[in-house]
Structure 1
Amino acid sequence: MDDSMPIFYIGQHETKRALPVSDELANHAQDLGYDMLTTPITNSHFHTRVLDLLSSYNQSLSDASGSPQPQPLPLIPALEYLDTPLTPNDTISQFLTFTSSWIDLTSPDPVIAYLSRQVLHLEIAYAAFCGAVTVVIPGPRLSNGANGISQYARAIKEALGTGAYIQIHILLPTDGSQSNEVEDLGNLEHFARPELQHPGQQSAEADPFSAWDAWNVIRSVCKYPSRLSVALDLPRRLPSLALQSRWYAEPVRLLNLPASSFLTNARGSSVLSKSHQYFIFRIMRLKSAPWLLLTDIGTLPGVDDPDMILSYSTGDISSDAAADAPTLESSMSTSPTPAEAAQMAKSGKKKNSGDPTPHLSYLRYLQRNQPPKNVIERFGGGFQDYLQSPLQPLTDNLESITYEVFEKDPIKYEWYERAIEAALLDWRALNKTTSSGTSDNAVVIAVVGSGRGPLVTRALNASEKTKIPVRVYAVEKNPNAYVLLQRHNRETWNNRVTVVKTDMRAWKGPANEDGTFGKVDILVSELLGSFADNELSPECLDGVQHVLNPDHGISIPSSYTAHYTPISTPRLWADLSTRSAMADPTAFDIPWVVMLQQMDYLSTVSTPTEAVQQLSNGTKMNQFSLEAPLSPYIQTAWEFSHPLPPNVLAQASLRKGGSAVGGGGGFTGGDGANEHNARFSKLSFPIQDQGICHGLGGYFETVLYAGTSGSVELSTNPITMKDKSEDMISWFPIFFPIRTPIQVPANSELEISMWRQTDDRKVWYEWLVESFITVGGQRLRLAVSDLHSSKSNGCLM
């Protein structure tokens, strides 16, 4: 259980840094408490050279206006030592390098676009030569439209090839707003020829999703490379929860916090709003948490005084700055409102209280006061977004460590004990007869697939609590686990358990002294997988149902349902794409077990989660619940119930024997004896905001027992898990990927078809995703995925 909290790695960035970044300046920044500094790759000298070249080229065009010969595009000479502050050294890997913000890769003017590509190429090549590890590239000019985005994406793909080992971060605004860098008179955008501008493109109102859409184009053109990620610029007012959630699913490696993002509270301290805190706390829990960058909050204090010694690296914060941020309804102006200013004057407190790095101190304060991790976060720290092949317990004998992981669950086995206890109480209340035939009328309980025996222990505990005698059988096919069960029976259970080594489907039931076999009153199993039925619980319980008393036998669990919803998860899709290309061509046809973390639900209901509602109620930061901000729309695929009606099993038996009255055989092979366990669902999911579908997130719910003594249920469904089995960690969700991501527009619809197939030898899934939009009353199909099938990796019966 990992209780360690995320560490904030914080850097300082000046868009117009006056001093070149030297080792001495970096050491000074570390003394102040910063972890990193930023530096431009080139300087104003290089900028002037490019502008002079452009001016000369434009003059040559004017001079040759009557010439029939086209003018070649201008070429930028190689970098000179006066053009850059960088040199190869041992500390350059500690700096974040920035490419020039005055270029315009999206320009409709081919001259400007060509010059910009050359600048980017020269800077990336030189940064790579110097040994830079990280390069931040300002994002595309969103006002130049879709054509400009494609130009930009192509340039980034070239840059990835130029700097083969460099991590590239694309700096993008969270809300799609335009960068203020365009106001710089030296920006190349101002030199584009007016006749090449698209009519009305500059006046178009920014779409909040435009930056995300541009990012989606860029990474898609570049084929989801692991070296390409996002540097997200957080505005003063965060966009909608839906857009925040969309960015959360992306590979954000840098959060840029400009001075304008901070509020000034009544004490004169620079603080972040509750919504900013929530977003930062949530995204810092990711497996690859981003760095934080404080931008244009002022120059490094003391840089002009070499004798000044500071020690703020501990992050001790003044009592003024430690005040909680204002609520969402608070002032959003850059400067204090008149009311805030009046209150500051009345209190007589000076802004920043003498702290030379108040913004840094505030972030360190947030780092120390993060919300505590919940049980699932503490348990699953190493499993987040880690793809695992589903277990095949029927064909593989599990190792002890695998059983041990399940047994650490603090909820599952306690709930099973409650279910057995409730069943025993109802048994006594209804005065049922038992199958034991003993004088004490003991209830016969069989734990099938008992593993290392945790459910056996729980059955014995339930008997002791209810004072109802039981006879317990532990049935297990794993020969290694069978040895441990025997040891437990002797050393822990006082020989109160009959241990049977066999496949549960071959077990004939409790053996009597006369050579006959009796029945079982309560059949207990934990055969469920991440999708409930993906580890063949239906087939196993069908096979052992013949030992259950047909009159009053109880199955625990009694039923279970599978659920799914479309999700966006670029990280997992990129992982599978790499696997598919390098080692496993079937990677996209496997339902993967994974602790989903860096993902986003594409179909949601309008009600925000309780965690977000807490923000507007003044909840303190260390009480935040960092769950998904919007509730997902999750639907039921199908259901299984136990025990099955006898006529269903009788029909399956006829088909298995090939009898004519059993039917003409199965659709997918075999006699069709298991086709009563085949399923199909076709569900429609409304899409509120634009996004991209990478697959389906799958979950399950199960009713362990429902009777007059109460109902006991388990759930991994995010909608019902909190009410039914909060903090349960035994099962991670299941992920059904699609080979080609489907981009979905706002107000569209995803229709998902899912099959559970069987040929009497194995069980597998098939899934298909279709996208639709309704225009003018007509429903139009936008895209359709491949028909994915896990048959080659199906679960063997």
Structure 2
Amino acid sequence: MSGSNFNPESDAFETRPTFYVGQHDSTRFAALTDDQYSQVLNSGFRFVTAPVTTRHFFDRVVDLHRYYLKERDEWTQKQSLTASQQANPSLPGPAVPTLTDKDTSIYPSHYIGNLAVYFSPWIDLCSPDPHISSLSRQVLNLEAAYANFCGARTIVIPGPRQDDSSRGIAQYARAIREALNVANRANIIIHMPMYREPGLDEKSETLSSIFSPRDGPEPEPKKEVDLFGAWDSWNTIRSTCNYSMRLFVALRVPRRVPEKTLQERWFAEPMHYLTIGRDVFQPNKAGHPSLSRHHQDLINRYMRLRSVPWLLLCDVGPRPEELGALPDQAASEFPSLAEASQALREGRRPHMPAMNAHVGYMKYLERQQPAFSAMEAPALTSFQDWLQPPLQPLADNLESATYEVFEGDPVKYDQYEKAITEAMIEWKELKKPTSTATAANPDSPELVVTVAGAGRGPLVTRALRAAESTGTPIQIWALEKNQDAYVYLLRKNKVEWGNKVTLVKTDMRGWEGPRLRGSEDVIGKVDILVTELLGSFGDNELSPECLDGIQNHLARPHGISIPHSYTAHLSPISTPRLFADISSRVVGDPNAFETPWVVRLFAIDYVAQKVPDHPRFQQAWEFVHPVAVLRADEFAAVHGKAAKYVTGGVGSMSGASGTNEHNARHCHLTFVCPTRGVIHGLAGFFESVLYASQKGTGKEPVEISILPDQIDRKSKDMVSWFPIFFPLKKPLYFPQDTELEVSMWRQTDDTKVWYEWLVEVYAWVGPSTRIKVGSSDLHTSRKVACLM
């Protein structure tokens, strides 16, 4: 990656997102000529929009419909039909003929892929007039087919003008789905407002306004603005189009920035453009265009997406009359001294246009963005919303590269070292006995420390450092079942650890216990047991089951388990990108919607709000170690250690012995959603107390957390674990002021562990009456369960 702007070691590494600024002129009816295109690019823009069809085509369609209406009226009068008879549905409507060379100004070319072709804003797919909606659909398909033929890769279609008519939005959505089939090689981008801001409605005429002009004064604007109305229309469109991976949104930024809940809702959508009109800019004290602090914050937030949205400036110039022919070549080569001096002051070549003032301001904003944080490094950004199947650490042996990724997080190991250090210090202060004390050596100060599941040894290194810093003598064991990692540990013991570590190649659940130094025939106990078996949901990589198999070797009652406890947490989320991604995998993976995916959630919306007694992130369950009583021990006492299970149905699962029943869990959580929206699944997180002080002094425990509202306080910049995502097979829509009831189970049959989840929607229809308005399927990951 040397020399790349994504290489942190390179001088060219970009510390901020790059703004890609384009120009759109809503009055343009023809594509720019080559000279005009060059002038726009030289004024600072990186790309421009191009209308597919010309004014000639618009006039032709208008004349076609006008002729049809005239012909229909004449036929009606000739037949002396009544008003009811005129509504014959079999009367043929107008049909738009194919395009001609006068109807378009774009053609196949080498730069067509660099243009964002803009479809006719005068069509009205939502019109209640069947002939106008039919004409509009014909024009849409003609333009889609021709743009696809020319090789256009980006198609922008103006969104519906209103959100009031569900019939109209359904007609629009169905037409877009058809256009996706017609333009089968292009991405389609729907130009939508963030919300219907009064005074910023599109002013261009449509077929409906031409043929069905409104009589009387304009209706008064609504006093109450429906902030989520435009999003609702977009949700209908993309749902009708089955969350197509080629369907995106161009979001029109309003003059007045809305509340955070709406900003986050759009943040989760597949956004291609942020469009900013002239009216949104405000002159500063010097008269130059600028944006408010709220607009700057919104742009900075959206520019953190992995697929950075492009910025499309609308109607900010250069004006059409300014796009004349370039000066002749001789003048360009031999400018006057005054011209050359002026161009030098403006940082441009002579006879080249000065940078557009609005583009210059956007370049200023680009430089003023906050630099990338540690969590926004290119390596981490590449993982945004990227689905990864969960690990099977018990069933599979990990590769060295996987261990290396885990070891690249110093925060986690710093916290583990801090926990081990505090445990050793308090061990001395509380004068706890050591497990190395025997009849022959009753005053032995050596602590027995065991790192179970050592991998490539990072926790062993931290345990040795903790012992050295606290002056604690230890006997340390490292257990690892992966035979390849065991080879690595043997070498590391010689090279780095000075053969201080006793290495054992074994599954921790089958270990016989530590043979004490100087008394190898004596199997002792463990004073401090250290493991890093936690997964994104805390228990999803079978930490409870693994610790059950080794905790018998922990000294009682003074032995310490690090971690001491861990909790799983849930929150319902909207994530259209992940739903579309999983939908595309179903053909090759029928269990895609039943799989808990590990993913660095980013372009998401937490649909629940924090209210009293119902936080946004809620605890599902907890595991604490060590466990006082194990059913496996009782079972072995009755059936013998060699028996694994019986088929008597002792456990809750048919055929299970019940030996792992204590690790099953169930939760039922209630989340409150004041605004309407859609849920695509559940986000899972965990927190863990590595070590809690045993002195009872109120000292803060040593913790790690991936909870969004706790990670900065407990383990800032920790990247070892991404959240887990439990998807829903079908998006679950919910109205405003509803409650989402989430039920989740951790199930086991003593051979494997899996999860089951269900989401229900309830709405209040009275002070004490609540009705169920929706529900997901009961999902189960049993077919992709984690094997014990």
> TM-score, normalising length from structure 1?
0.88
- Aligned 8 A contact 1:654 1:661 in 2: no
Tell me if 1:728 matches 2:747: no
Partner-residue secondary structure (3-state), 1:88 = coil
The equivalent residue for 2:704 is 714
The equivalent residue for 1:341 is none
Instruction: Write the letter of the residue equivalent to 1:9.
Output: Y
Name the CA shift for 1:661/1:671 in 2 (closer, same or farther; >3 Å).
closer
Instruction: Write the letter of the residue equivalent to 2:470.
Output: T
Q: CA deviation at 1:653?
A: 4.5
Name the CA shift for 1:356/1:600 in 2 (closer, same or farther; >3 Å).
same
Partner-residue secondary structure (3-state), 1:42 = coil
Distance in 1 separating the partners of 2:574 and 2:624:
32
Partner-residue secondary structure (3-state), 2:266 = helix
Out of 608, 612, 618, the position equivalent to 1:635 is: 618
| Aligned-CA RMSD value | 2.9
Instruction: Write the letter of the residue equivalent to 1:667.
Output: S
Distance in 2 separating the partners of 1:398 and 1:277:
45
Per-residue deviation, residues 205-228 of structure 1 (Å, max 9, x unmatched): 541111100010001111011111
Aligned length: 735
Partner-residue secondary structure (3-state), 1:667 = coil
The equivalent residue for 1:501 is 505
Out of 298, 316, 321, the position equivalent to 1:297 is: 316
Name the CA shift for 1:177/1:651 in 2 (closer, same or farther; >3 Å).
farther
- Aligned 8 A contact 1:528 1:534 in 2: yes
Q: CA deviation at 1:303?
A: 2.6
Distance in 2 separating the partners of 1:371 and 1:632:
30
Distance in 2 separating the partners of 1:488 and 1:677:
35
Out of 572, 596, 599, the position equivalent to 1:594 is: 599
The equivalent residue for 2:151 is 131
Tell me if 1:385 matches 2:385: yes
Higher mean C-alpha deviation, range 251-260 or range 46-55:
46-55
The equivalent residue for 1:116 is 136
The equivalent residue for 2:252 is 233
- Aligned 8 A contact 2:451 2:459 in 1: yes
Tell me if 1:788 matches 2:779: yes
Tell me if 1:645 matches 2:664: no
Q: Identity of counterpart residues, as a percentage?
A: 48
Higher mean C-alpha deviation, range 18-27 or range 783-792:
18-27
Distance in 2 separating the partners of 1:399 and 1:155:
49
Distance in 1 separating the partners of 2:645 and 2:118:
76
Partner-residue secondary structure (3-state), 1:364 = helix
The equivalent residue for 2:61 is 50
Partner-residue secondary structure (3-state), 2:493 = helix
Out of 226, 234, 237, the position equivalent to 1:207 is: 226
Out of 278, 281, 285, the position equivalent to 1:262 is: 281
Partner-residue secondary structure (3-state), 1:728 = coil
Per-residue deviation, residues 109-159 of structure 1 (Å, max 9, x unmatched): 111111111111111111111111111100012155110000000100110
The equivalent residue for 1:522 is 528
The equivalent residue for 1:666 is 651
The equivalent residue for 1:367 is 366
The equivalent residue for 1:414 is 414
- Aligned 8 A contact 1:756 1:766 in 2: yes
Name the CA shift for 1:461/1:784 in 2 (closer, same or farther; >3 Å).
same
Distance in 1 separating the partners of 2:345 and 2:357:
8
The equivalent residue for 1:454 is 458
Higher mean C-alpha deviation, range 61-70 or range 420-429:
61-70
Name the CA shift for 1:185/1:295 in 2 (closer, same or farther; >3 Å).
closer
The equivalent residue for 1:532 is 538
Distance in 2 separating the partners of 1:140 and 1:655:
71
Distance in 1 separating the partners of 2:149 and 2:647:
74
Distance in 2 separating the partners of 1:167 and 1:688:
34
Partner-residue secondary structure (3-state), 2:196 = coil
Distance in 1 separating the partners of 2:205 and 2:512:
87
Instruction: Write the letter of the residue equivalent to 1:358.
Output: A
Higher mean C-alpha deviation, range 699-708 or range 87-96:
87-96
The equivalent residue for 2:577 is 571
- Aligned 8 A contact 2:758 2:779 in 1: yes
Distance in 1 separating the partners of 2:182 and 2:646:
70
Contiguous gaps of at least 5 residues in structure 1: 320-353, 608-630
The equivalent residue for 1:188 is 208
- Aligned 8 A contact 2:176 2:237 in 1: yes
Higher mean C-alpha deviation, range 23-32 or range 287-296:
23-32
- Aligned 8 A contact 1:101 1:181 in 2: no
Distance in 2 separating the partners of 1:377 and 1:136:
30
Name the CA shift for 1:218/1:647 in 2 (closer, same or farther; >3 Å).
closer
Tell me if 1:91 matches 2:102: no
Instruction: Write the letter of the residue equivalent to 2:436.
Output: S
Tell me if 1:700 matches 2:686: yes
Distance in 2 separating the partners of 1:235 and 1:724:
38
The equivalent residue for 1:402 is 402
Per-residue deviation, residues 299-332 of structure 1 (Å, max 9, x unmatched): 2596325129799xxx99999xxxxxxxxxxxxx
Instruction: Write the letter of the residue equivalent to 1:152.
Output: Y
Distance in 2 separating the partners of 1:655 and 1:135:
71
The equivalent residue for 2:764 is 774
- Aligned 8 A contact 1:13 1:293 in 2: yes
Name the CA shift for 1:659/1:277 in 2 (closer, same or farther; >3 Å).
closer
Distance in 2 separating the partners of 1:572 and 1:637:
23
Higher mean C-alpha deviation, range 555-564 or range 700-709:
700-709
Per-residue deviation, residues 639-692 of structure 1 (Å, max 9, x unmatched): 000001136664464587589999961121320100000000000000121111
The equivalent residue for 1:37 is 48
Name the CA shift for 1:539/1:186 in 2 (closer, same or farther; >3 Å).
closer
Q: CA deviation at 1:18?
A: 6.9
Alignment of 1:608-627 (within 5 A): none
The equivalent residue for 1:765 is 755
Partner-residue secondary structure (3-state), 2:585 = helix
- Aligned 8 A contact 1:40 1:97 in 2: yes
Q: CA deviation at 1:514?
A: 5.3
Distance in 2 separating the partners of 1:116 and 1:501:
72
Distance in 2 separating the partners of 1:316 and 1:725:
51
Distance in 2 separating the partners of 1:656 and 1:250:
56
Tell me if 1:585 matches 2:582: no
Distance in 2 separating the partners of 1:122 and 1:202:
35
Q: CA deviation at 1:410?
A: 2.2
The equivalent residue for 1:348 is none
The equivalent residue for 1:616 is none
Per-residue deviation, residues 12-55 of structure 1 (Å, max 9, x unmatched): 11111276312222222222221101111111111111111121
Tell me if 1:78 matches 2:98: yes
Name the CA shift for 1:147/1:206 in 2 (closer, same or farther; >3 Å).
farther
Distance in 1 separating the partners of 2:615 and 2:106:
48
- Aligned 8 A contact 1:144 1:202 in 2: no
Distance in 2 separating the partners of 1:770 and 1:395:
34
The equivalent residue for 2:4 is none
Alignment of 1:96-107 (within 5 A): 96-107=116-127
Distance in 2 separating the partners of 1:185 and 1:567:
39
The equivalent residue for 2:610 is 605
Partner-residue secondary structure (3-state), 1:8 = coil
Tell me if 1:273 matches 2:278: no
Q: CA deviation at 1:515?
A: 2.4
Instruction: Write the letter of the residue equivalent to 1:766.
Output: E
The equivalent residue for 1:14 is 25
Tell me if 1:427 matches 2:417: no
Q: CA deviation at 1:257?
A: 0.7
Partner-residue secondary structure (3-state), 2:39 = helix
Instruction: Write the letter of the residue equivalent to 2:21.
Output: I
Q: CA deviation at 1:375?
A: 1.7
Higher mean C-alpha deviation, range 165-174 or range 176-185:
176-185
- Aligned 8 A contact 2:191 2:252 in 1: yes
Distance in 2 separating the partners of 1:43 and 1:746:
44
- Aligned 8 A contact 1:632 1:719 in 2: no
